Amino acid sequence: MAAMQYNFKKITHVPTAKDFIDVVLSRTQRQTPTVVHRGYAITRIRAFYMRKVKFTQTSWNEKLTRILEDFPRVDDIHPFYSDLLNVLYDKDHYKLALGQLNTAKNIIDKIAKDYVKLLKYGDSLYRCKQLKRAALGRMCTIMKKHAASLAYLEQVRQHMSRLPSIDPNTRTILVCGYPNVGKSSFMNKVTRADVEVQPYAFTTKSIYVGHTDYKYLRWQVLDTPGILDRPLEERNTIEMQSITAMAHLRAVVLYIVDASEQCGFTIKQQADLFHSIKPLFSNKPLVIAINKVDQRRLEDLKPEDAALVEGMRAATRGPAALQLGDDEELPCMSTLSEEGVMDVKRVCCDKLLAARVEQKLASRRAGEVLNRLHVAMPKPRDSRSRPAVIPHSVAINRAKKASGELPPMITEKMLQEENGGAGVYSADLRKNYLLDDDDWKYDIVPEIYNGKNVSDFIDPEIEEKLAELEREEEELEAAWEREKAEEEMEAESDMDEDDKELLKRLRSKKATMIAEHRRKKSAGNNAANMPRTADPERRATTTRMKQSLGEMGIDASLAVKRARERSASRVGRKRERSTAAMDDAEDMDAEDGEGEKKRAHSSKSRSVSVARRTARADKSPGSGLRNDDERMRAQKLADKAQRKANKRAKIGEADRQIITKMPKHLFSGKRGIGKTDRR
């Protein structure tokens, strides 16, 4: 039997009745013609409205059919899923909801068929329109009546999409037992699942699936909710999920017993539960595992409790059981310290493999396969015994390696690990070259240019000649430096102390000018002209200019006089402008001329701006802020404001994108008859 996989996550969404009606009618409005005139021929009017009715009926049919096909049929799926649906959702209610939708689909088809017949004999535009409205109205009314079924199916779909993906026919370990005996802890230890574990009962409320590997095979481990020892009709939905899994899945059943009784149930109660659900284990391998042995060992049990455990152990021996020892038939473990957990897993897997092999051999199909197989067995040609023989040289080498006489073989892997590992070590490929002389392996490969060996045209003494030229050049430079120093010393020897001091200053000034020139040149002359306010120390004064130029022997009296005259005239103009602005402000009400008002306004604004600029320069030149703290705070605020624009890859606030206000695909016209491109 082929493995059946059910993917309940692909079930289509079930809309509410209102949304369902809106979707279908909106689709009819968008994908059918919407313009009809009274002047059309009556046949054209009939065809227009018949198309509306048929299209609406087709939409209902397609969507309802999709829903009915996506939901699984209870009678066609695996009995495990069939009973699980019955436990979780009530099989009768589920079938009734799907049956109502199927009935609604058939009624809508019949309504469309009847009204299309009536539309064929419509005698006017008004009558055809009313028939169309009646048809669509009756279809919508039918769906409104099934609003409860649609809402129920949507809840079922959401819950089914959250069900675990369980393969009923694969190798499965089914873990069961009383609540809080350690089922989820065992699953977390042997699989990659992460089931919630809490120290109270019924932490696990549904079936969880995990996967593990054993003997290169993939195994499915199911963690079932805990069950209590009570009649079947009194069990709740959580317990019935476990009962369904035990009844229908072909798996090895692992019944976990809490030897410490910390779960809140005695060993007698656990034994009674085992015997009450024992009929569910028929024809299935069964393993009893004792958990929490770190709290209470098996040999520490009371005699009556030990007898109960032995009674459960005897029930595990069946036709599918392996011939294992006593210790393996009743494995003990502790999920807290992980003692014996892997042994329990091994015993379960071995039992299930043996049972599956025995079941396959017992089937008729296995016999048919064995009849087609032929195993050829060689016939002995004589009575001599010919055991397997190791060659003498191989045996000697093995003995030498074992005794240490032969050095161990050094592999490329070892060299790689010794020399930095992968990505750092570079394998030596030349050591395996097969050449007449091993000394040739690392020779330099000649470079050929225009069919000639480049090394043939290289002077063998080129490096010595180059070194000689460099040494000769260094000697010439040293001689030139000495001559220059001697000339300077001779020139300075003829000078007095004042001339030497002046020469020293000139050289210093020259070096400063050269450095400043190089700095400006490297900046590409891209530095802005700094304003007068950028000299807060007031170092650039006429006094300093006169002093510095005087030291260089330049008369700066005329330049100082010209600078002072300009400053005096500028101050005078400022005072005149400020006085005129005040006079204009006082006489503004008396004057009616528009030009006078403009002049007063402009002069006042100029004086205010000059005053502000002066005040700014006194406090913090060029920034408009009082001190460095405010300047740093303003810079941080500016950077923070720019951060949002940077995330959107924009230069600043002005870099904005104007999207299309009316996208064509949303505001284009309807498709006409015979056209498929509505854009």
pLDDT single digits (tens) 584-595: 545 544 444 444
Return the pLDDT at 612.
Answer: 46
231/33 Cα distance (integer angstroms): 65
Return the pLDDT at 423.
Answer: 84
Return the pLDDT at 110.
Answer: 94
Q: Do residues 246 and 227 touch, judged by C-beta distance below 8 A?
A: no
- Spell out the domains of the chain, with CATH numbers in brackets: 8-159 (1.20.120.1190), 168-361 (3.40.50.300), 577-587+597-642 (no CATH)
508/551 Cα distance (integer angstroms): 13
- pTM across the whole model: 0.48
Q: Do residues 321 and 285 touch, judged by C-beta distance below 8 A?
A: yes
181/254 Cα distance (integer angstroms): 12
- Residues with Cβ within 8 Å of residue 420, at least 6 apart in sequence: none
Return the pLDDT at 167.
Answer: 79
Number of Cα atoms under 13 Å in the Cβ half of residue 421: 0
119/57 Cα distance (integer angstroms): 15
Return the pLDDT at 215.
Answer: 84
The length of the chain, given as a count of residues:
679
Q: Output the six-digit token pair for 112.
A: 């469309």
If you ran DSSP here, which 8-state letter would residue 663 be given?
-
543/277 Cα distance (integer angstroms): 113
Q: Hey, which bits of 177-231 come out as E strands? A: 208-214, 217-223
Using CA of residue 391, residue 393, residue 394, residue 395, what is the dihedral sign? positive
559/432 Cα distance (integer angstroms): 87
Return the pLDDT at 676.
Answer: 60
Return the pLDDT at 2.
Answer: 37
Return the pLDDT at 532.
Answer: 59
Return the pLDDT at 317.
Answer: 64
Spatial CA neighbour of 156 closest among 240, 97, 82, 224: 97
Stretches where the chain sits below pLDDT 70 are 1-6, 198-205, 229, 232-237, 247-248, 316-329, 366, 523-538, 570-623, 657-659, 665, 667, 669-679
The residues facing 395 across adjacent strands are none
489/645 Cα distance (integer angstroms): 65
The type of residue at 328 is: E
Q: Output the six-digit token pair for 486.
A: 């001697």
Sheet order of strands, 217-223 included: 208-214, 217-223, 172-176, 252-258, 286-291
